[in-house]
C-alpha cells in the first residue's frame, strides 16, 4: 500500500461566530483572512500499467479545481462549506476531491498560526 500527498495553499477571508468571551470573539466576527495550507492524501496499490497509485497530474488538476473555489474567496459564501472552520474546510476539500478520486484517504488544513486539523473519514 502506498500513500501520496499533494500540498496546496490558498488565501481566503471569513467571519466566525465563536463561543468565547465577547472580547476574544470580536476579532473573529469581523471579516479577516488567513493563508491556509491543505494537504490531500491518496492511498492504494500501484496500477500495473502505470506503476502509480494516482497520476500526480490528475491529482494536481483536481486540486486546482478545489483551490479555485477557495482561493481569494469569502469563505462564508462558499456553497456547501458551512461555517468556515478548519474542520469544515477539511470535509469540504475531501468531498470535492472524492468526486474525482476515490483513493483520497485524508485531508489536512493548517494556518500559519500553528493550527492544524486532519480529517480521515471512517471506512
Q: Give which of 96, 85, 92 is closest to 62, Cα–Cα.
A: 96
Domain count, the chain: 1
Range of the domain at 112: 2-119
Q: What is the CATH number of the domain that holds 16?
A: 3.30.479.10
Q: What is the pLDDT of residues 31-87, one digit of tens each?
A: 888 999 999 999 999 999 999 999 999 999 999 999 999 999 999 999 999 999 999
What span, in angstroms and rounded, lies between the C-alpha atoms of 65 and 52?
22
Q: What is the pLDDT of residues 79-112, one digit of tens each?
A: 999 999 999 999 999 999 999 999 999 999 999 8
Radius of gyration of the chain (CA): 16
Helix (H, G, I), strand (E, B) or coil at 50: coil
Amino acid at each position: 500500500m502506498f500513500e501520496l500527498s499533494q500540498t496546496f495553499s490558498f488565501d481566503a477571508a471569513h467571519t466566525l461566530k465563536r463561543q468565547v468571551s465577547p472580547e476574544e470573539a470580536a476579532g473573529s466576527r469581523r471579516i479577516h483572512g488567513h493563508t491556509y495550507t491543505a494537504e490531500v492524501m491518496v492511498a492504494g496499490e500501484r496500477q500495473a500499467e502505470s506503476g502509480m497509485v494516482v497520476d500526480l497530474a490528475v491529482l494536481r488538476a483536481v486540486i486546482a479545481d478545489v483551490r479555485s473555489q477557495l482561493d481569494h474567496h469569502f469563505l462564508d459564501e462558499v456553497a456547501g462549506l458551512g461555517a468556515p472552520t478548519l474542520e469544515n474546510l477539511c470535509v469540504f476539500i475531501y468531498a470535492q476531491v472524492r468526486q474525482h478520486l476515490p483513493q483520497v484517504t485524508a485531508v489536512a488544513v493548517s494556518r500559519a498560526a500553528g493550527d492544524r486539523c486532519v480529517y480521515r473519514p471512517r471506512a
